[in-house]
């Protein structure tokens, strides 16, 4: 059974394969051929960066913002990379409006097999066990039917329908999932 674990060097070949399929850890950005080449060239640096993220984050509009403390976990079936979950330990004003505590993605070839639903459930277990949060917020575009199902199957309750501040004309929902 797959499990959520920290990134390791041994997982990089499968992770690179996933990126070549079109997988991106960042739901608002695609991965360029240059970025894939950099991961292949400097896998140690990349794994270190995943497990110890820099203090600043490039926002979707290209500007730099402060990164809140976060943990990235990879959903692995042995050494086969299936997807990733990003857990933010707290919200800032930007994340409280759009982004929330948890983001996730499944590689294209592994989609529609229940992995995101199981992966989010494991991500929620991680939060319960490691963070002092009673509930977590997630946001999703109305067009993302799959992710809406994933959130609702994990107990998500709609707080509000809101504009996606990063994508002109995109509407979405803020959901909360109670943890305790």
Ligand X SMILES: CC(C)(COP(=O)(O)OP(=O)(O)OC[C@H]1O[C@@H](n2cnc3c(N)ncnc32)[C@H](O)[C@@H]1OP(=O)(O)O)[C@@H](O)C(=O)NCCC(=O)NCCS
User: Which of 132, 163 has the CB closer to ligand X?
Assistant: 163
Nearer to ligand X, 43 or 123 (CB): 123
Interface residue with ligand X, options 14, 27, 49, 80 (CB under 6 A): 27
Which CB atom, from 104 or from 176, has the smaller least distance to ligand X?
Answer: 104
Cα–Cα distance measured from residue 72 to residue 53, given in angstroms and rounded to the nearest whole number: 9
The residue count for binding ligand X (CB under 6 A) is 19
Which two three-digit tokens encode residue 162?
A: 């809101």
If binding is defined by CB under 6 A, does position 105 make contact with ligand X?
A: yes
Nearest CB to ligand X, comparing residues 11 and 75: 75
**Least distance CB 57 / ligand X (angstroms):** 17
User: Quick count: other Cβ atoms within 10 Å of Cβ 127?
Assistant: 22
Answer for the pair 104, 82: CB distance below 8 angstroms, yes or no. no
In the complex, residue closest to ligand X by CB: 146
> Rule CB under 6 A: which of 115-144 touch ligand X?
115-117, 140, 144
- The residue (of 48 and 72) whose beta carbon lies closer to ligand X is 72
Q: Could you say whether residue 21 binds ligand X (CB under 6 A)?
A: no
CB of 54 to ligand X, least distance (A): 22
Residues that bind ligand X (CB under 6 A): 27, 103-106, 111-117, 140, 144-147, 149-150
């Amino acid at each position: 059974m797959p499990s959520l674990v920290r990134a390791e060097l041994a997982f990089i070949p499968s992770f690179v394969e996933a990126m070549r399929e079109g997988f991106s850890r960042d739901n608002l950005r695609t991965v360029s051929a240059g970025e894939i080449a950099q991961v292949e060239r400097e896998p140690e640096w990349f794994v270190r960066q995943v497990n110890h993220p820099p203090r600043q984050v490039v926002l979707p509009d290209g500007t730099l913002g402060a990164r809140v403390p976060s943990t990235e976990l990879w959903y692995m079936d042995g050494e086969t990379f299936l997807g990733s979950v990003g857990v933010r330990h707290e919200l800032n004003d930007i994340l409280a409006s759009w982004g929330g505590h948890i983001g996730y993605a499944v590689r294209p070839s592994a989609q529609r097999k229940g992995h995101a639903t199981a992966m989010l459930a494991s991500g929620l277990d991680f939060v319960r066990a490691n963070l002092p949060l009673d509930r977590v917020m997630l946001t999703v575009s109305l067009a993302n039917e799959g992710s809406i199902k994933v959130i609702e199957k994990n107990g998500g309750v709609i707080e509000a329908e809101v504009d996606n501040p990063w994508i002109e004309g995109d509407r979405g929902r803020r959901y909360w999932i109670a943890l305790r």
